Amino acid sequence: MKEEDSIFNITDAVADLWNKLGSWLDALILKLPNIILAILVLILFYLLAKYSVKLIRRLLEHKNVARSIINISTSVVKVIVIAIGFFVALGVLDLNKVLTSVLAGAGVVGLAIGLALQGTLHNTFSGVILSFRPELEVGDWIESNGFSGEVIEVNLRNVVIKQSDNNLVVIPNVKIVENPFKNFSNTQRSRVSLSCGVGYESDLEVVEKIAKSTISELFNQENLEEVELAYTEFGDSSINFTIRFWAEVSKQRDILFAKHKAIVALKKAFDENDINIPFPIRTLDFGKNKFRSETISFQQKT
């Protein structure tokens, strides 16, 4: 009896399984048009996202929008269009309950992820802010957080700059947003300062006239711009001055070579006019510091 019951139970189980498979197959056949339609919807929205990205990229490039803004804008549009297609496909399959569960679960998971990744999300939002700031664009030469270089990438996580020694520096977006940065490329002309000194025997008015004319011939001063010279101090071996002039500089390298040209021109002009640029001299005179020796005698009384 036990063997017959066992055989009977197994038969019933197989029959139940077969019935379930049959019902699933019937449901699949009934839902087949909806499944095909859902797949077509996903394909359609994928193609729509692809062409939307191309269209937005062309429009933004035509308006000379920053490359970082273009990349972020196209990424956001692509994600939104594909997400809409996914939800429409679920609606076609009559999976409204599943859709509600997915949205509820996504809300809970999103909250948990947001709490766990506060720093990362802060960095991401900082990247969005930087992408829409005209003060920072790809190709600019900036100085921030102790580093200076050319901006080669602005993404949702960090800003990548290439220094003059060709090394790359990755700075988190939040560091750029919360700390000041200097952009050399925002202005095509900047004021360059150079320090120098002349001997005490020099005629300071002549020195000023020669220095100003030399720099003015080398660097064109536009509109209200002018070359300025001010004597700053009586040094140990020279009277020091600072000369300031305007030049077309948009990178740190441009400032470096502007100073180079100015130094070469000033040295040549001073040499031609017998103006001395002294260097520090230290004189050691040992004659004034000799030790004097004397002999002292004591007389003993008897």
DSSP per-residue codes, 238-297: SEEEEEEEEE---SHHHHHHHHHHHHHHHHHHHHHTT------------GGGPPP-----
> What is the second-level CATH architecture of the domain 135-185?
Roll (2.30)
Work out the average pLDDT over 210-233. 92
* Range name among 116-120, 167-171, 202-206, 245-249 with the lowest pLDDT average: 116-120
For the cut 90, the answer to whether the pLDDT of residue 211 exceeds it is yes
Q: Considering the chain, what percentage of its residues have pLDDT values greater than 90?
A: 24
- Give me Rg for the CA atoms of the chain: 40
Work out the average pLDDT over 279-298. 56
Please give the pLDDT value at position 116. 42
For the cut 60, the answer to whether the pLDDT of residue 161 exceeds it is yes
- CATH 3.30.70.100 for domain 187-272: yes
Question: What is the identity of the amino acid at 82?
Answer: I
Model confidence pLDDT, tens digit, residues 237-285: 899 999 999 998 888 888 899 999 999 999 999 999 999 998 876 656 5
Sheet holding 147-154, edge to edge: 168-172, 158-162, 147-154, 141-144, 181-183
Please give the pLDDT value at position 95. 66
Cβ atoms of residues 174 and 158 within 8 Å: no
Longest dimension (CA), the chain: 150
Question: What is the identity of the amino acid at 170?
Answer: V
Q: Which of 9-18, 91-100, 202-211, 247-256 has the highest mean pLDDT?
A: 202-211
Please give the pLDDT value at position 263. 95
Domain 2-116 fold: Helix Hairpins (1.10.287)
Model confidence pLDDT, tens digit, residues 110-158: 655 554 445 556 666 666 667 666 677 788 888 888 888 888 887 777 8
CATH topology of 135-185 equal to that of 187-272? no
What is this structure's pTM? 0.54
pLDDT band at 30 (very low <50, low <70, confident <90, very high): low
Work out the average pLDDT over 15-23. 64
Please give the pLDDT value at position 302. 46
Please give the pLDDT value at position 107. 62
CA 301/CA 88 separation, integer angstroms = 129
Please give the pLDDT value at position 1. 46
Work out the average pLDDT over 11-22. 64
134 Cβ neighbours under 8 A, 6+ residues apart: 66
Query: Within 10 A of 149 (CB to CB), how many other CB atoms are there?
Result: 23
Domain boundaries, the chain: 2-116, 135-185, 187-272
Please give the pLDDT value at position 244. 95
Which long-range contacts (C-beta less than 8 Å, at least 24 apart) are formed by 41-47?
41/85, 41/88, 41/89, 41/92, 42/85, 42/86, 42/89, 44/85, 45/81, 45/82, 45/84, 45/85, 45/86, 45/88, 46/82, 46/85
